[in-house]
Amino acid sequence: MNEMRRFESKVALVTGGNAGIGKATALAFAREGAKVVITARREPEGVAAVKEIEAAGGVASFVRADVAVEADVVRAIEHTISKYGRLDVVFNNAGIEGKNGPIDTLTSADFDETFAVNVRGAWLVMKYALPHLAKTKGSIVNNSSVAADMGLAGTTIYAPSKGAISTLTRTAAIEFIKSGVRVNQVSPGPIETDMGARFFGSVENMRGFAKSAVPSGVPGSSADIAAAVLYLASPEAGFVVGQSLSVDGGLIAQ
């Protein structure tokens, strides 16, 4: 059991909190005392994540929401406030890898789908969370990717969507700090999750990429990202505003 309780009496909203990085971060927030609201499109996994938190002695609830749908975002925020009375932290994690490949194999519909979730979704959550976070002097952590900082062939939709998150983080950070709300982002490298495996084609492909391209030689874990998110959201990072924390085994330091 983690003895640190940096988020005692706080309320954290984790979008896409039903699997992978989102689930690991939701569990981490709960371990440190936060009441956690998980949103996701897939309800069975979301309910299972809540039960896992509750089994460990934590407090959590689930709201089915597609962050690309404005009404769903509004409902998720309203649920959080009505159930727990406040909002202190948002982890804008919901995202999809979308379609990847040579640009001439991709469609405008592929583009629209990825940007709707990865960019529009994050923007909507920030818009509707801000009034509540201003009351608590809270924090937002967005989930970007080192893909935003590299030239990776075959990612002409996904990488720009994460580049948009990086720009959104910086611009919102300057705008939101006037309300006492800090905005930062985490930028994962290759992380062993189901989404990561889909992105690379398989876990084996990801491990092969990490062995050849990542200085640490291995992919990271969801727990690595969760730890970074909790730091950025915590009082320890109180003077950290508009920053990107790359958790990538040294990939973009090269």
Q: What residues make up the domain containing 47?
A: 11-243
Question: Residue 179: how many CB atoms within 10 A of its CB?
Answer: 13
First-to-final CA distance of the chain: 36
CA 84 to chain centre: 21
Q: How far are the Cα atoms of 79, 125, 156 from residue 23, in angstroms, in the given order? A: 19, 18, 27
How much is the average pLDDT of 18-36?
97
Does any domain span residue 89?
yes
117 DSSP 8-state letter: I
Proportion of the chain above pLDDT 90, given as a percent? 94
Question: Residue 48: how many CB atoms within 10 A of its CB?
Answer: 15
Q: Look at residue 2 in the predicted model and tell me its pLDDT.
A: 44
Does any domain span residue 249?
no
- Residues 223-238 have pLDDT tens digits of 999 999 999 999 999 9
How much is the average pLDDT of 184-212?
92
Radius of gyration of the chain (CA): 17
Q: Is the pLDDT of residue 129 over 70?
A: yes
- Which positions are annotated as active-site residues? 158
- Residues 56-113 have pLDDT tens digits of 999 999 999 999 999 999 999 999 999 999 999 999 999 999 999 999 999 999 999 9
Q: Is the pLDDT of residue 1 over 70?
A: no
Does any domain span residue 48?
yes
- Residues 147-195 have pLDDT tens digits of 999 989 999 999 999 999 999 999 999 999 999 999 999 999 999 988 8
Does any domain span residue 238?
yes
Structural domain tally of the chain? Answer: 1
Does any domain span residue 3?
no
Q: Look at residue 199 in the predicted model and tell me its pLDDT.
A: 86
One-letter amino acid for residue 131 of the chain = P
Proportion of the chain above pLDDT 70, given as a percent? 99
Q: Look at residue 118 in the predicted model and tell me its pLDDT.
A: 98
Does any domain span residue 4?
no
How much is the average pLDDT of 44-52?
97
Does any domain span residue 5?
no
CATH number at residue 102: 3.40.50.720
Q: Look at residue 196 in the predicted model and tell me its pLDDT.
A: 87
Does any domain span residue 28?
yes
Question: Tokens representing 177?
Answer: 């700090």
One-letter amino acid for residue 60 of the chain = A
200's CB contacts (< 8 A; 6+ apart) are 190, 206, 209
